[in-house]
Every structure is written in C-alpha cells, then in structure tokens.
Amino acid sequence: MSSSLTQKADAAQLIETIYAVAARPERWEEIIAAVGAAPPGGPAAEAALAGLKDLEEVPQGGQATLGVILLSPTGGVVGWNSAGEALFRDRLGVVESRGLRFFNPSNHEALAHARARLAESSASQVIVKFVQADDDDPHFAYMSPLAATPPELIIDVTGADRASAALIFPAVEATDHLWRTIRESFGLTPAETRLAARLKDGLTLKEAAEDLNVSLNTVRNQLRAVFEKMGLNRQSDLVRALAQLSALSSSLQPSAPFTVVATEAGALGAAPPVQIHRLADGRALAYRAYGDPQGRACMMVHQGIGSSLLPRGTDRLARDLGLHIICAERPGTGRSDAPAELTFPGVARDLVHLTEALNLQQVRIAAFMNGVAFALAYANTLGDRAERLLLASGRTTGVEPETERDRRHPMILLHRRMARSAWAAMPLYALLRRRLSRRQVETMVRTAASAPGDAAYLRSHPDVTTFIFDYMSECLSRGSKGAARELMLSVNTPKLDLPHLTVPISIWYGADDPGASPERLMAWLGRPCEAVRVVPGVGHFLPHKHWPDVLAWLATDDGS
C-alpha cells in the first residue's frame, strides 16, 4: 500500500475507533494505538475530519449555548437569547410576544403543568418534557424561577426585570448532577434513578444489572417503569434525554456556600460564583475570585482542560493568608468566549485587561502543567508588575519525542502521540465531552496515576476524582473546540517569545513525575530560575497534594 493510502487508512481507523469508544467507553485505551498510527496531518487527516459526524459540537461565536426564554407571571415571553429562540424554533414552535406557540398543541399543556407545579412547590427547578414537531421525539428543558436562575445565563437577556421564570434548553452534554430533580419531577424510585444513571454512563442492561447486583429481569422491570413515568418508549430516547438534562445540571444546582464538605468533592459547592468580565472586543472572560478582596493580588493559571474551579478550602485559606486570588478561564473554554485566533500573547492581553479592570497592582502568579506557557506570556506582558512566578508540574510547548519510558505511562503516551498528530485533538476532545461522566473520569484518573506516588495519593484521596470531573465539566460545558485549539497552539509553538520577562521564577516538580522534569523545563525556558524544588513521593499530582504549600508560597516573601 502506498504511503498516501496508508495515511488515509490510518486516519480513517482513528475516526472509527472514536466512534467505537463513543459506544463503549471502557475501550478508550484503544485510542492510544489509533493515535499512534495516525498521520501528523495533511489531506488524509482533513478528509477524516470532513467525514466526521455526530461528534461535532454546537457552533461557538460568543453566544450562549444554553437556550434561555424568559416568561412573565402570566406565561408571556418577555425576553430570550438567540440560542433560546433558535433552539425553540428549530424543534418546537415559534416565539411570540404573547407566549410560546407550539407546533404540537400537547406542549401547551405540558408547559402549563410545569408552571403550576413550580408555583405550588418549593422546588428550584422543574423538568418539563416537550414533544418535537417533526418526529414526536422527546425534548427536555428546565423551568426555573428567575430568582433561582444563575445570573450569568441572563446577564445579556433583555426583559429580566419583567420575568418570573426562565425556560432553559440544553445544548451540550456534560454533567451528572440531575438525579434528584429527575426523581422529584417524574417520581422515579431510588432504584430506578440508579439504573437510569448507569444507562446514561453507557452501560448495557446486563452490565447495569451486574453493577447494581440485581437480576437482569429486575432491571428490565425497572426500565419499563422509567419509560412509563417519563413518557418514553425506547432506551435510546432515555439516554438522549438524560444527556440533554445533564448539560444544565451544574449550572442550575443551587449553590451551598455555607456548607463545607471535608473532601475534594466539596470544591464546587463551596466555590465563589463565576463572574464575567467584558473585554474590549465584547468577549466574555469568566473568572472566580477567592479570598480577601483587599489582600495581596495573585493570578492562578489553571492546567489544560481546567477551569476557574480551585481545590476545596481555597477561599477560606486565601482569606486566612491575606490573598486575593483570581483564576480566569481561558478563551474558548468554560464560560469564556473564543477569540478569532488563539495565541499566547492574545491570552496574556486578556488577562492583563482583567488585571487592570480589577485594579490589581503588583501580582504574584502560580501556574500548573499546561498552563505554564500562558502564565509566562502573561508575566511577560504584565512587565515589572509581576512580582514572582511559580511553575508547578510545568509542561513545555512543542513536540517531544516518544520514549521507551512513556510506554509504561498510558496517559503520557497518549499526550505525546496527540502532540505529533495534533489534528486528532478536535475529534478526541469532542468524544471526551460527549462521554464525560464520573465513571469515565475515574478510569482516566486511575490510568494517569501511573507513578507510585500518584497512585498512593489517589488511594488516600479518592474524592480528588470528583474535583477533576467538576473542573473538566466546567471546561467543556460549552464545547470542546477551545480545549482542542489550546493543545494545537501549544504543539505548534516550540518556543515562546518573552523579551520583557524579568519576573523571578520558581519551579516545583514531583520526583515521580513521568511526563516532565525541571531540567527539561529550564532548557526550554533558556534562562536561570530563582529556585527549584523537587518533592519526593508524588508525581504530577503535586499541585493537588501540596495545594496549601502553593498558597503559602504566594503569601510569603520567601520565593524558594
């Protein structure tokens, strides 16, 4: 077979593997071999991407991907965003000033019933099932009182002052925080809810029965009950409905700022709210602010496929240490809008714009893993206002050769191969977003903990998986293209141009880290560092295990 035909076959094989893993997530490690055989780019890769179906994401362009329609106390429409109007028009009917006109009249009754249930109950959301116009397939949405609707969903929607409720349509698949609302809305039993959760995670009925330790006949009976209560007829409809609903769950969950959970799983519930800063070109830059607003200014730069969510206890510890910590979500990920072109200087300018808007003067910076290049670009642009910079478990840009040692660490091997065939990031990240679940993240985190120190840390801190799932869900909530573009930017930038970088740099690494080392990072930087610390007994989980030490470094004047 000629080289061009071989590359075409290898590219097509990668796409076929992605579809296979979409159906059976437990086979995800097959992707490592498929990426290893994939071509670095060119016509074969372009042809494979052109033929990709079903994994494409909702287009982004600074518009909210969650559809919002605001309702008056009498049911009239008083406002909407463009995504809400488009989603409703494409699936259900017409948006008019006097109300929603459904193509299927039964949907009027469903909406009226949902409004009544919301008014007579203390629930913060009610799920309503609509029937689509063309094929009678079900489509689900949340109805929420305006007071319980997250402010960022309606920040740019006119008519909020006249609204009493919001109808919110899902547009992405991301999270699993919906089971309590489903039970309340449809009357599912706990056993039926547990079965539904397994089916959404991709298990077959037989696998769900084994996981729940019940008979196959029992889960079949439970599935029939779920169908009857939710008004569904097919298992595929159930999985799709749950995927639609799960997209909204993390955004719509009531926050619990006064509840402190003594596990990593408490990070999301105790985190400060996400705030939106408008950049000069109108794009949204999402961020969270932790600690004391009058404290020492610090900028956290999160890892790749990360968000502004920082570990549990950050807000309280930052207050105790007198820190004002800002963590922004990179353009195109989470709730930050994508720029036309993603560049390191462009991201740096966005962060400086936020720095100036918050009136931060001297800033201390800490960055993690693939976030270090963005932190360096930010410090370079910030100039002498950058006091000092910590790079923890830092990854370099460019393409690193695959080594024999990498074969003992599957996630490192996958990263090396993705860097060589960067075009594969688009479908792979779309797959990750499509199949994201706690079960899947647990599998990936266990695989990533291939170094002895990391495996030991994970055994003693299993709830770190929930934290990782939460920040990955936030990162991918509006799409996967931003994270994929970030990886491709890193791969295609062997060196950074940092002519104004004068900030003192400290480097921390775990001694067990299989993916990088301080020597490689310093060679890539091409400049001396103020301090290098190698921590025994941990690998790339260093920032998780030593998070209080990171904050202490930011708070003290000793930068070692």
| Tens of each residue's pLDDT in the chain, 560 residues | 455 556 655 777 766 676 666 555 566 677 777 777 777 777 766 776 665 655 544 333 333 467 888 888 888 888 888 778 777 776 678 777 667 778 777 888 888 888 888 887 766 778 887 776 544 556 778 888 888 777 767 766 778 888 888 888 865 333 334 555 666 667 778 778 778 777 766 678 888 888 778 898 998 888 888 888 877 777 766 766 666 565 444 444 443 333 223 345 568 778 898 899 999 999 999 999 999 999 999 999 999 999 999 998 899 999 999 999 999 999 999 999 999 999 999 999 999 999 999 999 999 999 999 999 999 999 999 999 999 999 999 999 988 877 788 777 878 877 777 777 777 778 888 877 877 777 778 888 888 888 899 999 888 888 889 899 899 989 988 888 899 899 899 989 999 999 999 999 999 999 998 888 899 999 999 988 999 999 999 998 999 999 999 999 999 986 55
Residue ranges in 25-68 assigned as alpha helix (H): 30-37, 43-50
Report which of 348, 368, 331, 373 is spatially closest to residue 491, judged by C-alpha positions. 373
> In terms of domains, do 167 and 103 share one?
yes
Tell me which long-range contacts 467-471 makes (C-beta under 8 A, separation of at least 24).
467/264, 467/265, 467/267, 467/268, 467/309, 467/311, 467/312, 467/544, 468/441, 469/436, 469/438, 469/441, 470/250, 470/267, 470/268, 470/309, 471/302, 471/305, 471/306, 471/307, 471/309
Check the CA dihedral 241-242-248-253 and report its sign.
positive
CB 153, CB 125: distance < 8 Å: no
> In terms of domains, do 193 and 287 share one?
no
The per-residue pLDDT for 409 is: 80
> In terms of domains, do 346 and 272 share one?
yes
Beta-carbon contacts of 206 under 8 Å, excluding residues fewer than 6 positions away, are 216
Residue 14 lies in a domain: no
> In terms of domains, do 493 and 386 share one?
yes
Last residue of some domain: 187, 218, 252? 252
> In terms of domains, do 292 and 397 share one?
yes
Report which of 540, 437, 541, 419 is spatially closest to residue 484, judged by C-alpha positions. 419
Beta-carbon contacts of 328 under 8 Å, excluding residues fewer than 6 positions away, are 277, 285, 286, 287, 299, 308, 336, 350, 351, 354
> In terms of domains, do 195 and 311 share one?
no
User: How far apart, in whole angstroms, are the C-alpha atoms of residue 114 and residue 346?
Assistant: 45
The per-residue pLDDT for 250 is: 43
Residue ranges in 342-387 assigned as alpha helix (H): 344-357, 372-382
Tell me the CA distances in angstroms from 446 to 61, 227, 402, 451, one per residue in order. 35, 35, 22, 10
The burial class, CB within 10 Å (0-12 / 13-18 / 19+), for 531 is middle
The per-residue pLDDT for 133 is: 53
List the Cα angle 134/139/145 in 5-degree steps: 135
Residues in the chain: 560
Residue 428 lies in a domain: no
The per-residue pLDDT for 255 is: 39
Supply 148's token pair.
């319980």
Residue 174 lies in a domain: yes
> In terms of domains, do 175 and 232 share one?
yes
Residue 94 lies in a domain: yes
Last residue of some domain: 231, 252, 273? 252
Residue 39 lies in a domain: no
Beta-carbon contacts of 52 under 8 Å, excluding residues fewer than 6 positions away, are 15, 427
Other beta carbons within 10 angstroms of residue 218's beta carbon come to 14
Q: Roughly what angle, to the nearest 10 degrees, separates helices 425-434 and 3-23?
A: 10
List the Cα angle 171/65/54 in 5-degree steps: 45
| CA atoms within a 13 Å half-sphere pointing along the CA-CB vector of 250 | 28
Stretch (H or E) spanning 314: helix 314-321
The percent of the chain in helix, strand and coil, each rounded to the nearest 5, is 50, 15, 35
Residue 414 lies in a domain: no
What is the tally of structural domains in the chain? Answer: 2
User: How far apart, in whole angstroms, are the C-alpha atoms of residue 399 and residue 416?
Assistant: 7
Check residue 103 and report its DSSP letter: S
User: How far apart, in whole angstroms, are the C-alpha atoms of residue 555 and residue 547?
Assistant: 13
User: How far apart, in whole angstroms, are the C-alpha atoms of residue 558 and residue 560?
Assistant: 6
The burial class, CB within 10 Å (0-12 / 13-18 / 19+), for 48 is buried
The per-residue pLDDT for 96 is: 72
Check residue 337 and report its DSSP letter: P
The per-residue pLDDT for 83 is: 76
Residue ranges in 121-204 assigned as alpha helix (H): 179-186, 190-200
Report which of 243, 31, 254, 7 is spatially closest to residue 123, judged by C-alpha positions. 254
The per-residue pLDDT for 489 is: 93
Check residue 332 and report its DSSP letter: T
> In terms of domains, do 457 and 323 share one?
yes
Residue 349 lies in a domain: yes
Last residue of some domain: 252, 279, 313? 252
Domain that holds residue 123: 67-252
> In terms of domains, do 352 and 278 share one?
yes
> In terms of domains, do 150 and 228 share one?
yes
> In terms of domains, do 226 and 304 share one?
no
Domain of residue 217, CATH code: 1.10.10.10
> In terms of domains, do 360 and 478 share one?
yes
Residue 45 lies in a domain: no
User: How far apart, in whole angstroms, are the C-alpha atoms of residue 298 and residue 513?
Assistant: 26
CB 465, CB 441: distance < 8 Å: yes
Domain of residue 393, CATH code: 3.40.50.1820
Strand partners, 94: 101
pTM here is 0.65
